[in-house]
């Protein structure tokens, strides 16, 4: 693949840039028209070509020399959507091949594979991750991570969402699980976590979210309103996760929540998932970033995230 599409919402306007596999350090400000379409195209049934252990691809960025990643790792509880219903055209993929329970436990071969990849991201030679935002984490998967993570990493886990934090780099100052935001799914929660950098003393706010995805419900607008109602203009804030809506839909929600043009920026570097039944790639995993100092965000290339990711991204953006 020669190019990838990257979306950046700058001050609540969307920007588009062609990102070569070596991403630029800053994102150009080419404004999209209101009629612009979201990323994605028909990819068909990929089946065995999907040589990856989750139905979502991770996204990653660097801000103020900190390396972040967000990834929906796919809870085995939802495996029937992949293996039986073939809703995304990947029922014969690596996901199905590795859906094998280990020694009558609730841990699968695929879970262990994902844990392996997380450890690789933490120890990446050029972009080691100090903050990892994960969604759809089963209890057995979290237990596996706790056993295998370096001792200086802490896991903050709440009902499927997990934030992994390098305690060499940060002090945890507050952590809460927020529920009752989504009217159609009041039980659905997300994490709102405050940390402080050990090197500079800078406070940061991290929000790890997996939004309900019913297109007929107001989940994206309710999440955007939560960001607006809790916004602190002096606090660097990063909201990230599987937001279940594409970059255009999230931009619309943010515009309505911030009518006076907040400084949040939305970053969607490439398509991360396949729409059920229609087999179209889409970008639904995002970073929403607010930096009082207007620090630049660098989207990380596939090779800066993990080995073997680039060919899978290529499947989502066929030439």
Q: What share of the chain is helix, strand, coil (3-state, %, to 5)?
A: 20, 30, 45
Q: Would you state the pLDDT for residue 21?
A: 34
Q: Measure the CA–CA gap between 164 and 73, rounded to whole angstroms.
A: 14
Domain ranges of the chain: 4-26+38-316
The tokens describing 186, both together, are 């009041």
CB 89 within 8 A of CB 273: no
Q: What letter would DSSP give residue 145?
A: H
Q: Would you state the pLDDT for residue 261?
A: 82
Residues linked to residue 175 through DSSP beta bridges, in sequence order: 193
Q: What are the CA-CA distances from residue 238 to residues 73, 164, 165, 241, 257 (Å)?
A: 20, 14, 14, 10, 16
Q: Measure the CA–CA gap between 38 and 282, rounded to whole angstroms.
A: 8
Q: Would you state the pLDDT for residue 35?
A: 45
User: Which top CATH class is 4-26+38-316?
Assistant: alpha beta
What backbone phi and psi angles, to 5 degrees, belong to 261? 65, 80
The per-residue pLDDT string of the chain (319 residues; one tens digit each, 9 = 90 and over) reads 333 444 444 334 333 333 333 333 333 222 333 447 899 999 999 999 999 999 999 999 999 999 999 999 999 999 999 999 999 999 999 999 999 999 989 999 999 999 999 999 999 999 999 999 999 999 999 999 999 999 999 999 999 999 999 999 999 999 999 999 999 999 999 999 999 999 999 999 999 999 999 999 999 999 999 999 999 999 999 999 999 999 999 999 999 999 988 679 999 999 999 999 999 999 999 999 999 999 999 999 999 999 999 999 999 999 7
Q: Give SS3 for 12.
A: coil
Q: What are the CA-CA distances from residue 92 to residues 43, 48, 71, 117, 277 (Å)?
A: 15, 5, 22, 21, 15
Residues linked to residue 163 through DSSP beta bridges, in sequence order: 133, 156
Q: Which helix (H) or strand (E) holds 285?
A: strand 285-290
């Amino acid at each position: 693949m020669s190019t990838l599409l990257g979306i950046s919402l700058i001050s609540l306007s969307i920007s588009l840039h062609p990102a070569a596999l070596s991403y630029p350090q800053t994102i150009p400000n080419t404004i999209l028209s209101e009629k612009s379409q979201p990323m994605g195209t028909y990819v068909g049934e990929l089946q065995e070509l999907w040589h990856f252990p989750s139905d979502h691809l991770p996204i990653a960025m660097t801000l103020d020399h900190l390396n972040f990643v967000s990834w929906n790792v796919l809870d085995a509880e939802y495996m029937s959507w992949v293996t039986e219903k073939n809703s995304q055209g990947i029922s014969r993929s690596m996901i199905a091949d590795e859906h094998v329970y280990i020694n009558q436990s609730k841990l699968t071969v695929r879970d262990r594979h994902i844990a392996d990849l997380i450890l690789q991201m933490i120890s990446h030679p050029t972009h080691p991750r100090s903050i990892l935002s994960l969604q759809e984490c089963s209890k057995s998967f979290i237990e596996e991570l706790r056993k295998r993570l370096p001792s200086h990493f802490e896991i903050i886990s709440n009902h499927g969402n997990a934030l992994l934090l390098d305690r060499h780099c940060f002090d945890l100052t507050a952590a809460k699980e927020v529920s009752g935001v989504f009217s159609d799914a009041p039980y659905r929660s997300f994490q709102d976590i405050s940390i402080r950098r050990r090197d500079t003393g800078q406070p940061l706010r991290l929000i790890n979210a997996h939004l309900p995805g019913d297109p007929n419900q107001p989940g994206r607008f309710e999440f955007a309103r939560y960001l607006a109602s809790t916004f602190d203009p002096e606090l660097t804030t990063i909201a990230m996760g599987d937001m279940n809506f594409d970059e255009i839909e999230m931009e619309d929600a943010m515009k309505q929540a911030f009518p006076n043009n907040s400084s949040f920026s939305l970053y969607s570097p490439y398509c991360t998932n396949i729409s059920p039944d229609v087999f179209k790639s889409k970008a639904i995993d995002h970073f929403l970033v607010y930096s009082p100092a207007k620090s630049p965000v660098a989207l990380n290339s596939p090779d800066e995230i993990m080995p073997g990711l680039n060919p899978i991204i290529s499947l989502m953006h066929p030439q």
